């Protein structure tokens, strides 16, 4: 036993066995034997003299933690410093917990308890509160001083020019021509061997203004006429006139006035092109009934101008080359597609291919929005320009593929190959179908929002299959192939792909919207780095907005079973993913495998394509600003924002031509009409179809103005390309 002497000279006793290697006790209980005798327990007080190498403050902390720690357990020192550290940490944690309990339950307000509780409050509550206040201040600051990005339009078109839009008095005539186009069922098929006569009929419908030969007139009348006697009279007259003219010409006499013959374009014999001339023999009776219904041509000026060249590529696709007055400037391309998706006719309010005009307000029919409105709108805009005896300054192309709904390989891909073969390997910009204008779709504003697609989601089509054990349904196995596959599909629907809001180009859309929404939403939109999770939950409420923030998963096909009393030997399902630009196809497949977590489910990739690159969209991007200016000229209250288009378009085949690829459909759609896309009762407003024609007309006019590089002074200050 080691004895120590206090200030009064009274011998002090420490508990044996608790000293350091130098004989100095780390902590001890002090006993005054003269006052308490040989009692085993007595009040504890610190020694008056310490010889430990630790600082006095550290010793007091050690004693404090030991005292308010677990009583009866003392420090045991060993030669291992590691063990000492572990013991000290253990005792310190126990002491802190004990201190918190005592500070909450004890009525005594000791100085050390007050200070410790103060420190704990600042640590556990004060520090997070301080961080929250700082983040809140930053978020509010960014919301208050946010830059109005969509206001950086190019102000180089005077007010007089802006008023030059399409005449609205012809809206019903245009609607009737659109209705005629909707009467032709141009459904595309994913096969190379099936002839699509309806696509030929649609091409013929577009070229109704082209002057036909006498032979074509005879065949058209033969098909359409219901009176054989009248038919014979007309045929006899036409044949006599043709033979008489032959005799007159043979004798060098002045021939009678014959219908003006329009020479068809010379076929291109390059390796990537297949020019196919069409004739009347290619059409059946019902197709001609839909085509030859009036003497007025659909677009007679387009088909009878020498500077406009029309070609049919790979049987069904159309390529128009409009030669501008100015040479040496980069051309641009306006794209759309002729084909539509199949229909469930019984679920429609009106026949899907009737082209029904209802109350002079809407035109119903498959393709009214996707995308015959685009084809007809572009053609109407060019026809109107020709009616005003105008010719574009810049050369541009109108490219209409015929199989966009299935792949675009035989349509837009062949159109692209044709351009490359002719030396056109670079374009100023490409505009294809995309989002229409909408209201009340994105929370925070009730104004029209024009979402111009600057990128496009990728796609991944996966086939899930399970091989089971076939047998009789009277003694089924515990799990069938259908049951296993159904469980896997259910897991995918319950565990969707993660939200990527704030990690991709869609974050720019919210920054452009921020100046035009209420203050609360402005804080959210301009601080996605802080509120992306909250905004993602808000966007998940609607399917179309949910598709903006993540990769979507759609169960599109499920097959299994061969007979009602037979256990199916296998089952298959098809999953279609639309891949977000911030995610790769490999990451999507890895997520699916992790969620399914069943080796019995085989996953095979049928089709995969990564998301498109992001096109320039800042204030210095002239093509983007030109599209934005055209929208604002037709819809002055619209908020123009960059966005990620959630579907797929034919722009994939033009990626090598330019980095300026944009996707936009210049019409308005209501939230209640969203499901009409590829759904039932597809329709378009006649007024908004007129607006679409006006947009394409303004775009062509603006492209003529923006031939040369725009001076920096004409561009408003704004954020650089994001």
Q: 493-513 as b/e, with b when 16 or more CB fall inside 10 Å?
A: eeeebbbbbbbbbbbbbbbbb
Distance between CA atoms of residues 496 and 694, nearest Å: 41
HEC letters along 340-409: ECCCCHHHCCCCCCCCEEECCCEEECCCCCCCHHHHHHHHHHHHHHHHCCCCCCCCEEEEEECCCCCCCC
Please, are residues 363 and 390 in contact by the beta-carbon 8 Å criterion?
A: no
Q: What three-state secondary structure class fits 263? A: coil
Exposed, middle or buried: residue 2 (CB in 10 Å: 0-12, 13-18, 19+)? middle
Strands 570-579 and 430-438: unpaired
Residues 6+ apart with CB under 8 A from 240: none
Active site residue 404: yes
Please, are residues 539 and 488 in contact by the beta-carbon 8 Å criterion?
A: no
Handedness of CA 633, 634, 639, 641 (dihedral sign): negative
Distance between CA atoms of residues 92 and 96, nearest Å: 6
Q: Count H helices, E strands: the chain?
A: 21, 20
- Give rounded-to-5 percent helix, strand, coil for the chain: 40, 15, 40
Distance between CA atoms of residues 467 and 569, nearest Å: 6
Q: Which residue has the tokens 């329009």?
A: 262
Please, are residues 637 and 676 in contact by the beta-carbon 8 Å criterion?
A: no
Options 91, 150, 311, 404, the catalytic residue: 404
Please, are residues 511 and 148 in contact by the beta-carbon 8 Å criterion?
A: no
Distance between CA atoms of residues 630 and 431, nearest Å: 12
Distance between CA atoms of residues 631 and 666, nearest Å: 8
Q: 353-363 as b/e, with b when 16 or more CB fall inside 10 Å?
A: bebbbeeeebb
Which DSSP category does 225 fall into? -
Distance between CA atoms of residues 530 and 536, nearest Å: 12
Tokens describing residue 483: 């049951």
Which DSSP category does 334 fall into? E
Q: Which of 303, 301, 262 is nearest to 385 (CA)?
A: 301
Q: How far is CA 237 from CA 219, 222, 233, 502, in A?
A: 14, 13, 6, 73
Active site residue 339: yes
Distance between CA atoms of residues 427 and 643, nearest Å: 22
Please, are residues 212 and 220 in contact by the beta-carbon 8 Å criterion?
A: yes
Phi, psi of 449 (to 5 degrees): -120, 125
Options 339, 432, 592, 673, the catalytic residue: 339
| Helical pair 372-387 and 171-182, crossing angle rounded to 10 deg | 140
Distance between CA atoms of residues 189 and 257, nearest Å: 44
Distance between CA atoms of residues 25 and 22, nearest Å: 9
Which DSSP category does 275 fall into? B
Exposed, middle or buried: residue 42 (CB in 10 Å: 0-12, 13-18, 19+)? middle
State the catalytic residues. 339, 404
């Amino acid at each position: 036993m080691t004895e120590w002497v206090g200030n009064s000279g009274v011998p002090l006793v420490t508990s044996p066995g608790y000293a350091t290697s130098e004989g100095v006790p780390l902590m001890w209980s002090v006993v005054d034997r003269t006052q308490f005798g040989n009692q085993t327990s007595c009040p504890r007080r610190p020694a008056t003299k310490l010889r430990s190498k630790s600082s006095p403050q550290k010793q007091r902390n050690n004693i404090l933690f030991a005292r308010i720690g677990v009583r009866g357990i003392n420090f045991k020192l060993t030669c291992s410093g590691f063990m000492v550290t572990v013991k000290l940490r253990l005792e310190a944690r126990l002491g802190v917990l004990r201190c918190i309990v005592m500070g909450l339950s004890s009525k005594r307000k000791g100085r050390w308890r007050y200070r410790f509780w103060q420190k704990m409050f600042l640590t556990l509550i004060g520090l997070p509160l301080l961080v929250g206040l700082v983040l809140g201040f930053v978020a509010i600051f960014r919301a208050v001083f946010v830059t109005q990005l969509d206001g950086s339009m190019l102000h180089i078109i005077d007010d007089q020019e802006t008023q030059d839009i399409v005449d609205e008095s012809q809206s019903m005539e245009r609607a009737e021509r659109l209705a005629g186009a909707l009467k032709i069922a141009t459904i595309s098929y994913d096969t190379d061997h099936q002839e699509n006569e309806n696509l030929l009929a649609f091409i013929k419908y577009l070229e109704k203004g082209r002057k036909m030969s006498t032979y074509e007139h005879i065949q058209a009348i033969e098909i359409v006429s219901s009176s054989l006697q009248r038919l014979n009279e007309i045929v006899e007259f036409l044949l006599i006139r043709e033979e008489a003219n032959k005799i007159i010409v043979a004798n060098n006499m002045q021939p009678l006035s014959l219908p003006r013959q329009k020479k068809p374009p010379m076929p291109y014999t390059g390796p990537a092109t297949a020019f196919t001339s069409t004739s009347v023999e290619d059409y059946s009776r019902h197709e001609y009934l839909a085509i030859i219904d009036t003497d007025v041509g659909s677009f007679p000026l387009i088909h009878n101008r020498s500077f406009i060249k029309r070609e049919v590529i790979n049987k069904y696709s159309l390529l128009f080359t409009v030669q501008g007055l100015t040479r040496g400037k980069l051309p641009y391309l306006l794209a759309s597609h002729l084909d539509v998706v199949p229909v469930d006719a019984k679920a429609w309010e009106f026949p899907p291919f009737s082209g029904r005009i209802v109350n002079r307000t809407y035109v119903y029919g498959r393709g009214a929005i996707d995308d015959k409105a685009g084809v007809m709108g572009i053609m109407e805009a060019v026809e109107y320009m020709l009616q005003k005896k105008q010719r574009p300054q810049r050369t541009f192309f109108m490219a209409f593929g015929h199989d966009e709904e299935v792949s675009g390989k035989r349509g837009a891909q062949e159109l692209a190959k044709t351009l490359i073969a002719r030396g056109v390997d670079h374009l100023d910009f490409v505009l294809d179908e995309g989002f229409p204008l909408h209201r009340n779709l994105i929370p925070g504003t009730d104004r029209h929002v024009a979402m111009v697609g600057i990128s496009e989601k990728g796609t991944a089509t996966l086939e899930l299959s399970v091989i089971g054990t076939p047998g009789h349904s009277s003694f089924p196995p515990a799990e069938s192939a259908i049951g296993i596959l159904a469980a896997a599909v259910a897991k995918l629907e319950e565990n969707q792909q993660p939200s990527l809001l704030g990690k991709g180009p869609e974050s720019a859309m919210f920054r452009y919207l921020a100046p035009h929404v209420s203050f609360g939403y402005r804080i959210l939109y301009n601080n996605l780095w802080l509120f992306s999770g909250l905004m993602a939950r808000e966007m998940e409420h609607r399917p179309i907005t949910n598709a903006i923030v993540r990769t979507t998963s759609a169960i599109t096909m499920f097959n299994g079973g061969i007979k009602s009393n037979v256990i199916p030997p296998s089952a298959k399902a098809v999953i279609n993913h639309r891949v977000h630009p911030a995610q790769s196809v490999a990451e999507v497949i890895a997520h699916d495998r992790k969620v399914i977590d069943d080796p019995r489910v085989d996953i095979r990739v049928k089709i995969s394509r990564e998301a498109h690159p992001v096109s320039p969209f800042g204030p210095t991007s002239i093509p983007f600003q030109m599209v934005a200016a055209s929208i604002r000229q037709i819809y002055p209250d619209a908020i123009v924002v960059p966005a990620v288009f959630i579907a797929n378009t034919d722009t994939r085949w033009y990626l090598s031509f330019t980095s300026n690829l944009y996707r936009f459909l210049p019409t308005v759609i209501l939230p209640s009409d969203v499901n009409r896309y590829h759904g039932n009762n597809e329709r378009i407003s006649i007024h908004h179809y007129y607006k679409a024609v006006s947009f394409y007309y303004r775009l062509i006019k603006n492209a003529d103005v923006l031939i040369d590089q725009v001076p920096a002074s004409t561009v408003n200050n704004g954020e650089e390309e994001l």
